[in-house]
Amino acid sequence: MLVDYFVLSAPAGQREDYNAHIQRNGVLERCDRSLIDAVAEVALTGRGGAHFPVARKWQPVLQAISTAARLTVVVNAAEGEPSSRKDAEIMRRNPHLVLDGAVALSQSLVTGTYAAADIVVWLHEGDDISLSSIQRAIDERAGLDEPPMRVLLTPARYVSGESTSVIRAVQSERRTGKATAFPRFTVDPGRPWLQDDADGNPILVHNCETMARIGQIARVGALAYRATSLVTVTAPGGLRVLEVGPDTTFATLLASLGVVTPSAVLLGGYGGQWVEWLRIADLAVDPDALRTHGLSLGAGIIIPLAPEECGLQKTAEIAAWMAGQSAKACGPCTFGLPAVAELMTKISKKAKARDLRELHEVCGLIPGRGACRHPDGTVRMVTSALEVFAEDLDQHTHSRCLAHPRKHRR
């Protein structure tokens, strides 16, 4: 059997159907609890952004499952951020690896006579190519002895990819037969991936790439599994999705895409953090390597600051976009994010000390006070900009800008 290290094994623009998938990888063997050990052994972390150890997420599920009637395994493929496309690429090119992961996971968690499992693929409305690819994949597997699978669509909105939103929608769908975007349930923030619904039935959510990697580990085993990273880079021609090995540095990655050396990159996307280029250029594009430097790859989003762009202005634009994405249910997010965006916009024009003080104060009021992590990410991104672009901030106090030295700003 040919061992393929890559999650994205189908060439760009091509979809691997079920026959091609099993020709290349063989039929998926039935999985047992040893998968849990294998996933722990390779120390797989969640690729939706949080990088939580995957196997650790399963401990509470294993406890709940002994008394539960049903486990729902959810593939979270709702990639809300415009600068992310890795999950869509997987859904379009290798949908069966994702389903392999969900099937393998269900089989390894649900053993004995207690519980049954079903599989939900959570996807944005409007992503028609991914939808048809995954729906076809589900149809192609129709005759197999696997848990029932279905697709749930969410209105296209950034925060609907939050695992808390996913859990709520799945709960509501179970109760009412219909997935509402934001039904109200109290989710335990200590265990946002698992929510017993009224029947005590666990719901386990994993990001699409994470699920594909679980599928990979189920197929090749811990020894042969190789940790690659899937990234979406904002390059001059548009978004580029690449799968790289842990020996690739940020410098080689951007050079391979013809990206001009930036002064900073936004790592982890709109809810991530700005990092000076000199700090990151020679680091490996690898979640573990980055963690040792106190950085996070998040959902693999890399946005280099283009030479003609002002980091502060870009931050203001992103903050405004994030404010617009708030579901406007929680006060500190509904009022806090527009305040952050407005102050950041003022500062990107002329950095007055009063506005800066106010921004710091408002940023201190927001984290941890919403029902989801959307506002926390926005604040993290903004505060990192104030540090990384400190020199430019100084210029902006004199109405000047490093990116546009000649243009005198208002």
By CB under 8 A, name the binding residues for other proteins. Answer: 182, 184, 186, 190, 329-333, 335-336, 362, 365, 368-371
Which one of residues 370, 377, 378, 392 is an interface residue with ligand SF4 (CB under 6 A)?
370
Q: Which is nearer to ligand SF4, 159 or 403 (CB)?
A: 159
Residue 372 in contact with ligand SF4, rule: CB under 6 A: yes
CB of 342 to other proteins, least distance (A): 13
Residues 298-327 that bind ligand SF4 (CB under 6 A): 326-327
Give the C-alpha distances (Å, rounded to integers) separating 133 from 17, 203, 272: 9, 24, 30
From the list other proteins, ligand SF4, none, which binds 184 (C-beta under 5 to 8 Å, kind-based)? other proteins
Task: Kindly state the smallest distance separating residue 203's Cβ from ligand SF4, in Å.
Answer: 18
The enclosing H or E element of 118 equals strand 116-124
374, interface contact from other proteins, ligand SF4, none, CB < 5-8 Å by kind: ligand SF4
Query: Under the criterion CB under 6 A, does residue 334 sit at the interface with ligand SF4?
Result: yes
- The CA R_g of the chain, rounded to the nearest whole Å, is 22
Contact 32, 108 (CB under 8 A): yes
Choice between 184 and 293, CB closer to ligand SF4:
184
DSSP 325-372: H--S-SHHHHHHHHHHHHHHHHHHH---HHHHHHHHHHHHHSTT-SSS
Per DSSP, the chain holds a count of helices (H) and strands (E) of 16, 9
Question: Of the two residues 190 and 405, which places its CB atom closer to other proteins in the complex?
Answer: 190
Q: Tokens standing for 67?
A: 């008394």
Q: How far is the CB of 336 from ligand SF4 (least distance, A)?
A: 9
Instruction: Report the partner that residue 326 touches, choosing among other proteins, ligand SF4, none (CB closer than 5 to 8 A by kind).
Output: ligand SF4
Taking the C-alpha atoms of residue 405 and residue 199, their distance in angstroms, rounded to an integer, is 62
264 near 290, Cβ under 8 Å? no
Alpha carbon separation from 176 to 43, 142, 192 (Å, rounded): 38, 26, 22
- Residue closer to ligand SF4 (CB basis): 320 or 330: 330
In DSSP terms, which residues pair with 243 in a beta bridge? 230
Nearer to ligand SF4, 221 or 332 (CB): 332
| Nearest in space to 392 (alpha carbons), one of 263, 247, 295, 288 | 263
Angle at 131 between CA 2 and CA 91, to 5 degrees: 30
For the record, the structure tokens of 150 come out as 């279905």
Residue 190 touches which of ligand SF4, other proteins, none (Cβ within 5-8 Å per kind): other proteins
- Among 333, 363, 381, 385, the residue binding ligand SF4 under the rule CB under 6 A is 333
Distance CA 408, CA 401 (A): 8
Distance CA 134, CA 54 (A): 23
Token reading at 120: 């939900």
Residues 129-188 that bind ligand SF4 (CB under 6 A): 159
Residue among 328, 346, 352, 404 that touches ligand SF4 (CB under 6 A): 328
Could you say whether residue 192 binds ligand SF4 (CB under 6 A)? no
Q: Which of 20, 283, 330, 402 binds ligand SF4 (CB under 6 A)?
A: 330
One of 3, 12, 129, 329 touching ligand SF4 (CB under 6 A): 329
Query: Which residue's structure tokens are 């811990």?
Result: 222
Q: What is the spatial distance between Cα 183 and Cα 193, in angstroms, rounded to a whole number?
A: 17
The least distance separating ligand SF4 from the CB of residue 342, rounded to whole angstroms, comes to 17
Choose the binding region for ligand SF4 from 89-97, 138-146, 250-258, 365-373 (rule: CB under 6 A).
365-373
Applying CB under 6 A, which part among 105-113, 169-177, 301-309, 370-378 lies near ligand SF4? 370-378
Q: List interacting residues with ligand SF4 (CB under 6 A).
A: 159, 326-330, 333-334, 370-372, 374-375
